[in-house]
Structure 1
Amino acid sequence: MSWLSRLSRGPGSRTGRSVAPPCTADPETCLMVFENHWRQVSWVLEQREPSSSSDDLTAVRNNTDQMLCLLAEERPGEGGPQDSGAGGPLPPMGPILKLVTSEDVLERLVQWHLRRGLDADSQGALLKLFEMLIGQSQQPLLRHTAVLQPLLLLLGASGDPQLGGCPPALENSLVLLLNQVCVSMARQPVVLEMLFRAAPAQQGPTNLLIFSLLVPFIHRDGALGQQARDALLLVMATSASHRAVARYITENSYFCPIPTALAVAQG
Protein backbone atom coordinates (compact mmCIF):
# COMPACT_ATOMS: atom_id res chain seq x y z
CA MET A 1 0.00 0.00 0.00
CA SER A 2 1.20 3.57 -0.73
CA TRP A 3 0.98 4.69 2.90
CA LEU A 4 3.26 1.86 3.99
CA SER A 5 5.91 2.80 1.45
CA ARG A 6 5.85 6.36 2.75
CA LEU A 7 6.24 5.21 6.33
CA SER A 8 9.37 3.25 5.39
CA ARG A 9 11.17 6.38 4.24
CA GLY A 10 13.94 7.81 6.36
CA PRO A 11 14.21 11.34 7.76
CA GLY A 12 15.72 12.60 4.52
CA SER A 13 12.35 12.25 2.80
CA ARG A 14 10.71 14.79 5.12
CA THR A 15 10.53 17.49 2.47
CA GLY A 16 8.44 15.23 0.25
CA ARG A 17 5.60 14.86 2.74
CA SER A 18 3.98 18.16 1.88
CA VAL A 19 2.70 16.71 -1.41
CA ALA A 20 1.93 13.21 -0.08
CA PRO A 21 -1.74 12.23 -0.07
CA PRO A 22 -3.42 11.51 3.29
CA CYS A 23 -3.00 8.06 4.84
CA THR A 24 -5.62 5.79 3.27
CA ALA A 25 -5.33 2.88 5.71
CA ASP A 26 -8.03 2.37 8.30
CA PRO A 27 -7.53 4.11 11.68
CA GLU A 28 -6.94 0.85 13.54
CA THR A 29 -4.08 -0.14 11.22
CA CYS A 30 -2.50 3.31 11.45
CA LEU A 31 -2.75 3.15 15.24
CA MET A 32 -1.12 -0.28 15.24
CA VAL A 33 1.80 1.03 13.17
CA PHE A 34 2.11 4.09 15.43
CA GLU A 35 2.13 1.93 18.56
CA ASN A 36 4.89 -0.24 17.09
CA HIS A 37 7.10 2.80 16.48
CA TRP A 38 6.23 4.22 19.90
CA ARG A 39 7.27 1.01 21.67
CA GLN A 40 10.71 1.28 20.07
CA VAL A 41 11.02 4.94 21.01
CA SER A 42 9.70 4.62 24.56
CA TRP A 43 12.18 1.83 25.32
CA VAL A 44 15.00 4.31 24.70
CA LEU A 45 13.25 7.16 26.50
CA GLU A 46 12.64 5.07 29.61
CA GLN A 47 16.33 4.40 30.26
CA ARG A 48 17.43 5.91 33.55
CA GLU A 49 20.02 8.16 31.91
CA PRO A 50 19.56 9.72 28.46
CA SER A 51 21.49 7.61 25.99
CA SER A 52 24.49 9.11 24.22
CA SER A 53 24.53 6.28 21.69
CA SER A 54 24.27 7.41 18.09
CA ASP A 55 22.31 4.23 17.34
CA ASP A 56 19.68 5.13 19.94
CA LEU A 57 19.47 8.68 18.61
CA THR A 58 19.03 7.44 15.06
CA ALA A 59 16.33 4.99 16.16
CA VAL A 60 14.45 7.73 18.02
CA ARG A 61 14.67 10.11 15.07
CA ASN A 62 13.59 7.57 12.47
CA ASN A 63 10.65 6.28 14.49
CA THR A 64 9.61 9.77 15.58
CA ASP A 65 9.56 10.96 11.99
CA GLN A 66 7.18 8.19 10.98
CA MET A 67 5.03 8.54 14.11
CA LEU A 68 4.43 12.23 13.57
CA CYS A 69 3.70 11.69 9.89
CA LEU A 70 0.90 9.36 10.96
CA LEU A 71 -0.36 11.87 13.54
CA ALA A 72 -0.41 14.69 10.98
CA GLU A 73 -2.38 12.59 8.52
CA GLU A 74 -4.91 11.31 11.04
CA ARG A 75 -8.44 12.64 10.70
CA PRO A 76 -10.73 13.43 13.65
CA GLY A 77 -12.46 10.50 15.28
CA GLU A 78 -16.09 9.56 14.91
CA GLY A 79 -18.87 10.99 16.98
CA GLY A 80 -20.09 14.45 17.88
CA PRO A 81 -17.96 17.44 18.91
CA GLN A 82 -16.47 17.39 22.39
CA ASP A 83 -16.91 20.27 24.83
CA SER A 84 -13.50 21.91 25.26
CA GLY A 85 -14.58 24.38 27.93
CA ALA A 86 -13.19 27.31 25.91
CA GLY A 87 -13.08 28.37 22.32
CA GLY A 88 -15.99 26.25 21.18
CA PRO A 89 -16.35 22.49 20.77
CA LEU A 90 -13.49 20.30 19.61
CA PRO A 91 -13.87 17.49 17.10
CA PRO A 92 -13.37 14.06 18.68
CA MET A 93 -9.74 12.97 18.77
CA GLY A 94 -8.52 10.25 16.46
CA PRO A 95 -7.04 7.15 18.16
CA ILE A 96 -3.43 8.24 17.54
CA LEU A 97 -4.02 11.68 19.05
CA LYS A 98 -5.69 10.00 22.04
CA LEU A 99 -2.54 7.92 22.57
CA VAL A 100 -0.29 10.94 22.14
CA THR A 101 -2.34 12.75 24.79
CA SER A 102 -2.68 9.90 27.28
CA GLU A 103 1.03 8.99 27.21
CA ASP A 104 2.47 12.51 26.78
CA VAL A 105 4.35 11.30 23.72
CA LEU A 106 5.56 14.69 22.48
CA GLU A 107 6.43 15.98 25.94
CA ARG A 108 8.57 12.92 26.64
CA LEU A 109 10.29 13.18 23.27
CA VAL A 110 11.24 16.84 23.68
CA GLN A 111 12.31 16.34 27.30
CA TRP A 112 14.56 13.45 26.28
CA HIS A 113 16.30 15.57 23.66
CA LEU A 114 16.74 18.42 26.14
CA ARG A 115 18.18 16.13 28.82
CA ARG A 116 20.77 14.65 26.49
CA GLY A 117 21.70 18.06 25.10
CA LEU A 118 19.85 19.54 22.15
CA ASP A 119 22.37 19.39 19.30
CA ALA A 120 21.71 21.35 16.11
CA ASP A 121 20.69 18.29 14.10
CA SER A 122 18.08 17.20 16.65
CA GLN A 123 16.85 20.76 17.12
CA GLY A 124 16.43 21.20 13.38
CA ALA A 125 14.61 17.89 13.05
CA LEU A 126 12.20 18.76 15.86
CA LEU A 127 11.49 22.23 14.45
CA LYS A 128 10.66 20.73 11.06
CA LEU A 129 8.51 17.98 12.57
CA PHE A 130 6.43 20.43 14.61
CA GLU A 131 6.08 22.70 11.57
CA MET A 132 4.84 19.73 9.57
CA LEU A 133 2.43 18.71 12.34
CA ILE A 134 0.86 22.15 12.70
CA GLY A 135 0.82 22.95 9.00
CA GLN A 136 -0.55 19.64 7.73
CA SER A 137 -2.59 18.20 10.59
CA GLN A 138 -6.20 17.26 9.95
CA GLN A 139 -6.99 18.03 13.63
CA PRO A 140 -6.67 21.26 15.70
CA LEU A 141 -3.54 20.05 17.48
CA LEU A 142 -2.60 23.33 19.19
CA ARG A 143 -5.82 23.22 21.18
CA HIS A 144 -4.47 20.16 22.99
CA THR A 145 -1.98 20.85 25.78
CA ALA A 146 -0.23 17.55 24.98
CA VAL A 147 0.93 19.26 21.76
CA LEU A 148 1.15 22.88 22.89
CA GLN A 149 3.30 22.28 25.99
CA PRO A 150 6.13 20.40 24.23
CA LEU A 151 6.03 22.94 21.41
CA LEU A 152 6.63 25.70 23.95
CA LEU A 153 9.45 23.69 25.51
CA LEU A 154 11.15 23.42 22.13
CA LEU A 155 10.61 27.09 21.31
CA GLY A 156 11.84 28.09 24.75
CA ALA A 157 15.05 26.13 24.19
CA SER A 158 15.43 27.68 20.75
CA GLY A 159 15.24 31.15 22.29
CA ASP A 160 17.42 30.49 25.35
CA PRO A 161 21.09 31.50 24.83
CA GLN A 162 22.12 29.30 27.77
CA LEU A 163 20.82 26.28 25.86
CA GLY A 164 22.52 27.33 22.65
CA GLY A 165 19.62 29.34 21.25
CA CYS A 166 18.90 28.98 17.56
CA PRO A 167 21.95 28.49 15.31
CA PRO A 168 21.89 30.69 12.17
CA ALA A 169 21.46 27.60 10.00
CA LEU A 170 18.14 26.86 11.75
CA GLU A 171 16.65 30.36 11.67
CA ASN A 172 14.56 29.60 8.59
CA SER A 173 13.09 26.51 10.28
CA LEU A 174 12.32 28.46 13.46
CA VAL A 175 10.58 31.32 11.66
CA LEU A 176 8.61 28.94 9.46
CA LEU A 177 7.37 27.11 12.55
CA LEU A 178 6.45 30.39 14.25
CA ASN A 179 4.60 31.45 11.11
CA GLN A 180 2.60 28.21 11.12
CA VAL A 181 1.72 28.72 14.79
CA CYS A 182 0.47 32.24 14.05
CA VAL A 183 -1.60 31.06 11.08
CA SER A 184 -3.21 28.43 13.29
CA MET A 185 -3.75 31.03 16.00
CA ALA A 186 -5.46 33.41 13.56
CA ARG A 187 -7.83 30.62 12.52
CA GLN A 188 -8.47 29.61 16.14
CA PRO A 189 -8.09 32.66 18.42
CA VAL A 190 -8.50 30.48 21.50
CA VAL A 191 -4.94 29.27 20.85
CA LEU A 192 -3.69 32.77 21.78
CA GLU A 193 -5.41 32.49 25.14
CA MET A 194 -3.89 29.05 25.63
CA LEU A 195 -0.42 30.42 24.82
CA PHE A 196 -0.80 32.94 27.64
CA ARG A 197 -2.03 30.32 30.10
CA ALA A 198 0.37 27.54 29.12
CA ALA A 199 3.89 26.91 30.42
CA PRO A 200 4.32 29.92 32.76
CA ALA A 201 7.87 28.73 33.47
CA GLN A 202 8.78 29.46 29.85
CA GLN A 203 6.55 32.46 29.22
CA GLY A 204 6.04 34.33 32.45
CA PRO A 205 2.78 36.05 33.39
CA THR A 206 3.23 38.96 30.94
CA ASN A 207 5.34 37.36 28.25
CA LEU A 208 4.35 35.93 24.90
CA LEU A 209 7.08 33.59 23.74
CA ILE A 210 5.90 33.54 20.12
CA PHE A 211 6.08 37.32 19.94
CA SER A 212 9.50 37.53 21.60
CA LEU A 213 10.99 35.03 19.16
CA LEU A 214 9.58 36.78 16.10
CA VAL A 215 10.69 40.35 16.84
CA PRO A 216 14.44 39.83 16.13
CA PHE A 217 13.65 38.69 12.58
CA ILE A 218 11.20 41.34 11.41
CA HIS A 219 13.88 43.60 9.91
CA ARG A 220 15.63 40.83 8.01
CA ASP A 221 15.71 40.89 4.22
CA GLY A 222 14.23 38.24 1.97
CA ALA A 223 11.75 35.49 2.70
CA LEU A 224 12.86 35.11 6.31
CA GLY A 225 11.96 38.68 7.22
CA GLN A 226 8.73 38.55 5.24
CA GLN A 227 7.57 35.40 7.03
CA ALA A 228 8.39 36.98 10.39
CA ARG A 229 6.50 40.17 9.52
CA ASP A 230 3.49 38.24 8.25
CA ALA A 231 3.41 36.15 11.41
CA LEU A 232 3.75 39.21 13.64
CA LEU A 233 0.88 40.93 11.85
CA LEU A 234 -1.27 37.89 12.58
CA VAL A 235 -0.33 38.13 16.27
CA MET A 236 -1.21 41.83 16.33
CA ALA A 237 -4.54 41.28 14.58
CA THR A 238 -5.50 38.39 16.84
CA SER A 239 -4.47 40.35 19.95
CA ALA A 240 -6.90 43.19 19.18
CA SER A 241 -9.51 41.62 21.45
CA HIS A 242 -7.06 40.36 24.09
CA ARG A 243 -6.08 43.00 26.63
CA ALA A 244 -3.22 40.92 28.12
CA VAL A 245 -1.50 40.56 24.76
CA ALA A 246 -1.98 44.23 23.89
CA ARG A 247 -0.48 45.21 27.24
CA TYR A 248 2.46 42.90 26.72
CA ILE A 249 3.17 44.37 23.28
CA THR A 250 3.12 47.94 24.58
CA GLU A 251 4.78 47.46 27.97
CA ASN A 252 7.02 44.39 27.75
CA SER A 253 8.46 44.45 24.25
CA TYR A 254 10.76 46.67 22.19
CA PHE A 255 8.32 46.66 19.29
CA CYS A 256 6.01 49.37 20.64
CA PRO A 257 8.03 51.70 22.93
CA ILE A 258 5.26 54.30 23.43
CA PRO A 259 3.05 53.29 26.38
CA THR A 260 0.12 55.34 25.15
CA ALA A 261 -0.11 53.04 22.13
CA LEU A 262 -1.94 50.62 24.41
CA ALA A 263 -5.14 52.41 23.54
CA VAL A 264 -4.40 52.04 19.85
CA ALA A 265 -3.58 48.34 20.23
CA GLN A 266 -6.91 47.85 21.95
CA GLY A 267 -8.70 49.39 19.01
Structure 2
Amino acid sequence: MVSGRRVLSMVYAVVVYLFLLAPILVILLSSLTTTNYIVFPPRGLTLRWYGELFAHHPEFISSLWLSIAVAVGTAVGCTVFGTLAALALHRYPVPGKGIWNALFASPLLIPSVVLGIALLQWYSTLGIAASSWSLIIGHFIIAFPYVVRLVMARLQEFQSSHVERAAANLGASPVQVFWKVTLPLIRSGMMAGAVFAFVTSFDDLTVALFVVSTDVQTLPVRLFNYMQYNYDPVVTAISSVMVLLSLVMMIAMERVIGIGQAFGVSKTHTTKRGTVHAH
Protein backbone atom coordinates (compact mmCIF):
# COMPACT_ATOMS: atom_id res chain seq x y z
CA MET A 1 0.00 0.00 0.00
CA VAL A 2 2.81 2.38 0.92
CA SER A 3 4.69 1.68 -2.29
CA GLY A 4 1.51 2.17 -4.30
CA ARG A 5 0.90 5.55 -2.70
CA ARG A 6 4.49 6.50 -3.36
CA VAL A 7 4.16 5.60 -7.03
CA LEU A 8 0.94 7.60 -7.32
CA SER A 9 2.61 10.56 -5.63
CA MET A 10 5.53 10.39 -8.03
CA VAL A 11 3.21 10.17 -11.05
CA TYR A 12 1.21 13.12 -9.77
CA ALA A 13 4.38 15.17 -9.23
CA VAL A 14 5.63 14.35 -12.74
CA VAL A 15 2.30 15.34 -14.29
CA VAL A 16 2.27 18.65 -12.40
CA TYR A 17 5.87 19.43 -13.38
CA LEU A 18 5.17 18.63 -17.04
CA PHE A 19 2.09 20.84 -16.99
CA LEU A 20 4.08 23.75 -15.54
CA LEU A 21 7.11 23.26 -17.80
CA ALA A 22 5.22 22.57 -21.04
CA PRO A 23 4.85 26.25 -22.09
CA ILE A 24 8.56 26.83 -21.50
CA LEU A 25 9.50 23.75 -23.53
CA VAL A 26 7.24 24.92 -26.36
CA ILE A 27 9.02 28.30 -26.42
CA LEU A 28 12.49 26.73 -26.36
CA LEU A 29 11.73 24.27 -29.15
CA SER A 30 9.87 26.84 -31.27
CA SER A 31 12.99 29.02 -31.28
CA LEU A 32 14.83 26.25 -33.17
CA THR A 33 12.44 25.99 -36.11
CA THR A 34 13.71 26.45 -39.68
CA THR A 35 10.52 28.20 -40.83
CA ASN A 36 10.04 31.98 -40.96
CA TYR A 37 7.10 31.77 -38.59
CA ILE A 38 6.54 30.29 -35.15
CA VAL A 39 5.35 26.71 -35.28
CA PHE A 40 5.25 23.79 -32.87
CA PRO A 41 6.49 21.13 -33.22
CA PRO A 42 9.44 22.83 -34.95
CA ARG A 43 10.08 21.91 -38.57
CA GLY A 44 13.73 21.15 -38.45
CA LEU A 45 16.29 22.37 -35.94
CA THR A 46 18.50 25.40 -36.39
CA LEU A 47 20.13 28.17 -34.36
CA ARG A 48 19.48 30.65 -37.15
CA TRP A 49 17.11 32.82 -35.13
CA TYR A 50 19.61 33.26 -32.35
CA GLY A 51 22.10 34.42 -34.98
CA GLU A 52 19.45 36.80 -36.34
CA LEU A 53 18.87 38.12 -32.86
CA PHE A 54 22.51 38.97 -32.16
CA ALA A 55 23.41 40.04 -35.72
CA HIS A 56 20.39 42.07 -36.86
CA HIS A 57 18.64 43.21 -33.71
CA PRO A 58 21.11 45.28 -31.66
CA GLU A 59 18.17 47.01 -29.95
CA PHE A 60 17.37 43.75 -28.18
CA ILE A 61 20.95 43.39 -27.00
CA SER A 62 21.03 46.94 -25.62
CA SER A 63 17.70 46.34 -23.87
CA LEU A 64 19.08 43.09 -22.46
CA TRP A 65 22.05 44.88 -20.90
CA LEU A 66 19.74 47.61 -19.59
CA SER A 67 17.48 45.00 -17.99
CA ILE A 68 20.46 43.29 -16.38
CA ALA A 69 21.83 46.59 -15.04
CA VAL A 70 18.43 47.61 -13.66
CA ALA A 71 17.89 44.16 -12.14
CA VAL A 72 21.31 44.23 -10.45
CA GLY A 73 20.68 47.72 -9.09
CA THR A 74 17.26 46.64 -7.84
CA ALA A 75 18.67 43.50 -6.20
CA VAL A 76 21.45 45.43 -4.43
CA GLY A 77 19.14 48.19 -3.20
CA CYS A 78 16.41 45.80 -2.05
CA THR A 79 18.91 43.55 -0.28
CA VAL A 80 20.55 46.38 1.66
CA PHE A 81 17.42 48.29 2.68
CA GLY A 82 15.23 45.20 2.98
CA THR A 83 17.69 43.59 5.39
CA LEU A 84 17.90 46.74 7.49
CA ALA A 85 14.10 46.99 7.58
CA ALA A 86 13.73 43.34 8.58
CA LEU A 87 16.30 43.71 11.37
CA ALA A 88 14.59 46.84 12.67
CA LEU A 89 11.12 45.29 12.67
CA HIS A 90 12.29 42.04 14.25
CA ARG A 91 14.76 43.32 16.85
CA TYR A 92 13.62 46.74 18.00
CA PRO A 93 10.38 48.20 19.43
CA VAL A 94 9.54 50.23 16.34
CA PRO A 95 6.43 52.41 16.89
CA GLY A 96 3.56 51.23 14.70
CA LYS A 97 5.29 47.98 13.77
CA GLY A 98 2.05 46.51 12.40
CA ILE A 99 1.56 49.53 10.15
CA TRP A 100 5.12 49.25 8.85
CA ASN A 101 4.63 45.54 8.15
CA ALA A 102 1.46 46.27 6.20
CA LEU A 103 3.15 49.13 4.33
CA PHE A 104 6.09 46.96 3.28
CA ALA A 105 3.71 44.23 2.08
CA SER A 106 1.36 46.61 0.24
CA PRO A 107 3.15 46.41 -3.16
CA LEU A 108 2.22 42.72 -3.24
CA LEU A 109 -1.46 43.64 -2.91
CA ILE A 110 -1.64 46.58 -5.30
CA PRO A 111 -2.22 45.64 -8.97
CA SER A 112 0.86 46.25 -11.09
CA VAL A 113 -1.11 48.39 -13.54
CA VAL A 114 -2.21 50.71 -10.73
CA LEU A 115 1.35 50.93 -9.43
CA GLY A 116 2.66 51.71 -12.92
CA ILE A 117 0.11 54.49 -13.43
CA ALA A 118 0.94 55.91 -10.00
CA LEU A 119 4.66 55.95 -10.81
CA LEU A 120 3.98 57.61 -14.17
CA GLN A 121 1.94 60.34 -12.51
CA TRP A 122 4.53 60.80 -9.75
CA TYR A 123 7.44 61.04 -12.19
CA SER A 124 5.48 63.50 -14.35
CA THR A 125 4.71 65.69 -11.33
CA LEU A 126 8.35 65.74 -10.22
CA GLY A 127 9.66 66.14 -13.76
CA ILE A 128 11.70 62.92 -13.62
CA ALA A 129 12.60 61.66 -17.08
CA ALA A 130 12.72 57.98 -18.01
CA SER A 131 16.08 56.49 -17.10
CA SER A 132 17.63 53.41 -15.56
CA TRP A 133 17.30 55.07 -12.14
CA SER A 134 13.58 55.65 -12.53
CA LEU A 135 13.21 51.98 -13.49
CA ILE A 136 15.23 50.89 -10.47
CA ILE A 137 12.98 52.93 -8.17
CA GLY A 138 9.87 51.35 -9.68
CA HIS A 139 11.25 47.84 -9.46
CA PHE A 140 12.55 48.50 -5.96
CA ILE A 141 8.96 49.07 -4.82
CA ILE A 142 7.67 45.76 -6.18
CA ALA A 143 10.69 43.67 -5.15
CA PHE A 144 11.35 45.13 -1.69
CA PRO A 145 8.68 43.01 0.11
CA TYR A 146 10.35 39.74 -0.96
CA VAL A 147 13.63 40.62 0.72
CA VAL A 148 11.92 41.81 3.91
CA ARG A 149 9.82 38.63 4.20
CA LEU A 150 12.67 36.24 3.48
CA VAL A 151 15.10 37.90 5.88
CA MET A 152 12.47 38.08 8.61
CA ALA A 153 11.74 34.39 8.10
CA ARG A 154 15.40 33.59 8.74
CA LEU A 155 15.46 35.84 11.82
CA GLN A 156 12.38 34.14 13.25
CA GLU A 157 13.74 30.66 12.51
CA PHE A 158 16.95 31.17 14.47
CA GLN A 159 17.03 32.56 18.00
CA SER A 160 20.04 34.56 16.90
CA SER A 161 19.64 37.13 19.68
CA HIS A 162 20.95 34.57 22.22
CA VAL A 163 24.00 33.91 20.08
CA GLU A 164 24.55 37.62 19.62
CA ARG A 165 24.37 38.28 23.34
CA ALA A 166 26.84 35.45 23.95
CA ALA A 167 29.24 36.96 21.42
CA ALA A 168 28.86 40.40 22.99
CA ASN A 169 29.50 38.97 26.47
CA LEU A 170 32.71 37.43 25.15
CA GLY A 171 33.95 40.86 24.12
CA ALA A 172 32.83 41.20 20.50
CA SER A 173 31.99 44.72 19.35
CA PRO A 174 28.57 45.45 17.75
CA VAL A 175 30.20 45.49 14.31
CA GLN A 176 31.89 42.15 14.94
CA VAL A 177 28.64 40.66 16.23
CA PHE A 178 26.84 41.73 13.07
CA TRP A 179 29.50 40.54 10.62
CA LYS A 180 30.44 37.29 12.36
CA VAL A 181 27.13 36.21 13.92
CA THR A 182 24.06 37.96 12.52
CA LEU A 183 25.09 38.15 8.88
CA PRO A 184 26.00 34.44 8.50
CA LEU A 185 22.64 33.46 10.02
CA ILE A 186 20.56 35.59 7.65
CA ARG A 187 22.85 35.35 4.61
CA SER A 188 20.76 32.68 2.88
CA GLY A 189 17.60 34.77 3.27
CA MET A 190 19.41 37.82 1.92
CA MET A 191 20.70 35.92 -1.11
CA ALA A 192 17.30 34.40 -1.81
CA GLY A 193 15.74 37.85 -1.58
CA ALA A 194 18.38 39.27 -3.91
CA VAL A 195 17.69 36.57 -6.50
CA PHE A 196 13.94 37.15 -6.25
CA ALA A 197 14.46 40.89 -6.59
CA PHE A 198 16.66 40.36 -9.66
CA VAL A 199 14.20 38.02 -11.37
CA THR A 200 11.21 40.23 -10.48
CA SER A 201 12.93 43.27 -11.98
CA PHE A 202 14.27 41.43 -15.01
CA ASP A 203 10.89 39.92 -15.95
CA ASP A 204 8.71 42.93 -15.15
CA LEU A 205 6.60 44.34 -17.97
CA THR A 206 3.59 46.06 -16.41
CA VAL A 207 5.38 48.64 -14.27
CA ALA A 208 8.21 49.24 -16.76
CA LEU A 209 5.70 49.83 -19.55
CA PHE A 210 4.60 53.06 -17.86
CA VAL A 211 8.02 54.49 -16.97
CA VAL A 212 10.09 53.83 -20.11
CA SER A 213 10.63 55.98 -23.17
CA THR A 214 11.55 55.32 -26.78
CA ASP A 215 15.24 55.46 -25.86
CA VAL A 216 15.04 53.61 -22.54
CA GLN A 217 13.30 50.26 -22.87
CA THR A 218 13.84 47.10 -20.88
CA LEU A 219 13.88 43.77 -22.66
CA PRO A 220 10.28 42.76 -21.78
CA VAL A 221 9.00 46.14 -23.01
CA ARG A 222 11.09 45.89 -26.19
CA LEU A 223 9.74 42.40 -26.82
CA PHE A 224 6.16 43.53 -26.17
CA ASN A 225 6.46 46.39 -28.67
CA TYR A 226 8.13 44.13 -31.24
CA MET A 227 5.30 41.59 -31.03
CA GLN A 228 2.72 44.20 -31.99
CA TYR A 229 4.09 44.24 -35.54
CA ASN A 230 6.15 41.04 -35.84
CA TYR A 231 5.66 37.47 -34.73
CA ASP A 232 8.62 35.56 -36.09
CA PRO A 233 10.90 33.08 -34.27
CA VAL A 234 13.05 35.98 -33.07
CA VAL A 235 10.32 36.40 -30.44
CA THR A 236 10.81 32.87 -29.15
CA ALA A 237 14.61 33.22 -29.35
CA ILE A 238 14.70 36.27 -27.09
CA SER A 239 12.10 34.67 -24.82
CA SER A 240 14.36 31.63 -24.51
CA VAL A 241 17.29 33.87 -23.55
CA MET A 242 15.16 35.41 -20.78
CA VAL A 243 14.07 31.98 -19.53
CA LEU A 244 17.61 30.63 -19.54
CA LEU A 245 18.96 33.65 -17.67
CA SER A 246 16.31 33.28 -14.96
CA LEU A 247 17.09 29.55 -14.80
CA VAL A 248 20.79 30.29 -14.35
CA MET A 249 19.96 32.57 -11.42
CA MET A 250 17.88 29.87 -9.73
CA ILE A 251 20.55 27.21 -10.30
CA ALA A 252 23.17 29.56 -8.87
CA MET A 253 21.06 30.08 -5.75
CA GLU A 254 20.61 26.33 -5.38
CA ARG A 255 24.35 25.71 -5.76
CA VAL A 256 25.38 28.43 -3.34
CA ILE A 257 22.83 28.13 -0.52
CA GLY A 258 20.22 25.56 -1.55
CA ILE A 259 16.58 26.33 -2.31
CA GLY A 260 15.37 24.68 0.89
CA GLN A 261 17.80 26.58 3.09
CA ALA A 262 16.90 29.84 1.34
CA PHE A 263 13.27 29.49 2.38
CA GLY A 264 14.04 28.18 5.85
CA VAL A 265 12.92 24.63 5.09
CA SER A 266 14.26 22.24 7.64
CA LYS A 267 15.66 18.87 6.84
CA THR A 268 13.52 16.01 8.08
CA HIS A 269 14.91 12.78 9.42
CA THR A 270 12.61 9.84 10.08
CA THR A 271 13.39 7.44 12.88
CA LYS A 272 11.58 4.45 14.34
CA ARG A 273 10.03 6.56 17.09
CA GLY A 274 8.94 9.45 14.94
CA THR A 275 10.12 12.38 12.92
CA VAL A 276 13.00 14.62 13.89
CA HIS A 277 13.49 18.06 12.33
CA ALA A 278 16.96 19.52 12.10
CA HIS A 279 18.49 22.52 10.39
Instruction: Report the TM-score when normalising by structure 1.
Output: 0.25
Larger radius of gyration: 2
- With normalisation by structure 2, the TM-score equals 0.24
Structure with more contact order per residue of length (Cα contacts < 8 Å, sep ≥ 6): 2
